[in-house]
Amino acid sequence: MKHEATAALPKAVPEKTAPATAPAPVPPPVTPPERASGGRHGSRWTPWLYLAPALVVLAALLVYPIYQLGLISFLEYTQAQVSGGEPTTFKGLGNYRTLFSDSQFWEVLLATVVFAAACVVTTLGVGCALAVLLTRVRALPRLALMLAALGAWATPAVTGSTVWVFLFDPDHGPVNRMLGLGDFSWTYGRHSAFALVLFEVVWCSFPFVMVTVYAGIKAIPSEVLEAASLDGASQWRTWRSVIAPMLRPILIVVTIQSIIWDFKVFTQIYVMTAGGGIAGQNLVLNVYAYQKAFASSQYSLGSAIGIVMLLILLTVTLVYLRLMRRQGEEL
């Protein structure tokens, strides 16, 4: 605005000094439309200007790699093509055919789904139960639990994994001593290894659920709860008919986030079971794709597994969007 004012001033001055000359009336009709169109122009492009850095980064480092991932999954792409200079050949759906006829792939897929489901259910159960517990206790125990949970939340996945492996170490760990398990090795058996990883995953992901659900419960206006108790609602009834429906949006978010995180577990499996367990017994899709690509140089098979994961998670996302839509949430 200041700019426009100063720009208009010199134009007005010559106008006054030379009132009789012919070109004087010309400038005024030209400037106003120019100014107006400039303003409209600005506001129409401003959002895109603000969005530009984000879009450039996302296009280069997210969209383009996804496209590449899809492309590689259709090619013959192994060590020979990467460093041997051999020409890449188009294989169509060949990689997927190889993958789907491999019984190990189906086994890993099943293990991933079951493991993720177990993690999600346990995390949500523990998180919600503790959130309710938090509303029932005074400040000091609440602070203690909150701080402990924040500590677990903040712990990096790598160090969390190393610590949990150490806790359950057959020779030097305290857990086997406490439970009197002797030198039982948790990482040796398939189920016990998965259970160990599950403990760690739940430990580091329940705090998010607990804190979010607790914040959700606290955000329920106390008048509503008072009204319910005045109407003679029992505690169970208050939970079922007042609190649960109000928490629904939060529960949906938390569930979907957990599904996505637990489906993508990589670090914990990789560190705790040393890259997928004995003979690959603890592989999940993510680690499987990584091993296929970087350990055995079958980049196209690894990419095909990545695409399968992408499609599964996309389906979950679409369900999420559907649920949000149905609740009439405005974007």
Partner 1 sequence: MSRTVTPAVPPTPTPTTGAASTTGAGAATGAGASTAPTGRLRVRRPWRLAAEASALVVAVVVAFPLYWMVLSAFKPAGEIQSTEARPWTLSPSLDSFRRVFEQQEFGRYFLNSLFVAGSVVLASALIAFLAATAVTRFRFRFRTTLLIMFLVAQMVPIEALTIPLFFLMRDTGQLNTLWSLVLPHIAFSLPFAIWMLRGFVKAVPEALEEAACIDGASRTRFLWQILFPLVFPGLVATSVFSFISTWNDFLFAKSFIISDTSQSTLPMALLVFFKPDENDWGGIMAGSTVMTVPVLVFFVLVQRRLVSGLGGAVKD
| Residues of span 135-164 touching partner 1 by CB under 8 A | 135-139, 141-160, 162-164
DSSP 204-238: HHHHHHHHHHHHHHHTS-HHHHHHHHHTT--HHHH
Q: Pick the closer one to partner 1 by CB: 21 or 240.
A: 240
CB of 194 to partner 1, least distance (A): 19
Q: Pick the closer one to partner 1 by CB: 194 or 303.
A: 303
Among 78, 122, 205, 212, which residue sits at the site for partner 1 (rule: CB under 8 A)?
Answer: 212
Compute the 3-state secondary structure of the chain and give helix, strand, coil in percent, each to the nearest 5. Answer: 75, 0, 20
Among 8, 113, 121, 313, which residue sits at the site for partner 1 (rule: CB under 8 A)?
Answer: 313
Three-state secondary-structure class, residue 158: helix
Q: What does the alpha-carbon distance between residue 118 and residue 284 come to, in Å, rounded to a whole number?
A: 13
Residue 323 binds to partner 1 (criterion: CB under 8 A) = no
DSSP state of 90: E
Question: CB under 8 A: which stretch of 10-18, 96-104, 105-113, 305-313 binds partner 1?
Answer: 305-313
What tokens does 92 get? Answer: 């169509």
Residue 317 binds to partner 1 (criterion: CB under 8 A) = yes
CB atoms within 10 A of CB 192: 14
CB of 235 to partner 1, least distance (A): 4
Binding mask 71-110 for partner 1 (x = CB under 8 A): -x---------x----------------------------
Question: Residue 252: which residues within 8 A CB-CB, separation 6 or more?
Answer: 320, 323, 324
CA terminus-to-terminus distance, the chain: 33
Number of residues that bind partner 1 (CB under 8 A): 114
CB atoms within 10 A of CB 185: 14
Binding to partner 1 in span 30-49, by CB under 8 A: 42-44, 46-48
